[in-house]
């Protein structure tokens, strides 16, 4: 009867080890997922800021009633001539 108990104990130890490994893996996956989400949020923030800056640059040029650049405006003429 003892050899049978030893086998059961070995199996239980193996199962416990597998369970512990699965818990460690789950923790690692959760940490990686959190880091990925954080990185994606940072990327989106940077993209929004870049778009906002570009929009700000566009708003520097006056538009006419049809939201076209006003070609009679001095800013437009200077821009076309390469002045900043």
Q: CA geometry: angle at 55 spanning 78 and 71, to 5°?
A: 30
What is d(CA 17, CA 23) in angstroms, rounded to the nearest whole number?
10
What is d(CA 54, CA 71) in angstroms, rounded to the nearest whole number?
20
Domain range spanning residue 65?
A: 2-81
User: 0.75 cut: is pTM over it?
Assistant: no
What is d(CA 43, CA 39) in angstroms, rounded to the nearest whole number?
6
What is the total count of domains within the chain?
A: 1
What is d(CA 74, CA 62) in angstroms, rounded to the nearest whole number?
10
pLDDT tens sequence across 10-68 = 999 999 999 999 999 999 999 999 999 999 999 999 999 998 888 877 777 666 566 66
What is d(CA 49, CA 58) in angstroms, rounded to the nearest whole number?
14
């Amino acid at each position: 009867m003892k050899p049978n108990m030893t086998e059961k104990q070995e199996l239980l130890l193996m199962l416990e080890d597998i369970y512990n490994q699965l818990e460690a893996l789950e923790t690692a996956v959760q940490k990686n997922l959190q880091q990925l989400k954080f990185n994606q949020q940072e990327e989106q923030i940077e993209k929004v800021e870049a778009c906002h800056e570009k929009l700000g640059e566009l708003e520097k040029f006056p538009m006419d009633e049809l939201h076209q650049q006003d070609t009679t405006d001095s800013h437009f003429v200077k821009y076309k001539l390469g002045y900043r």
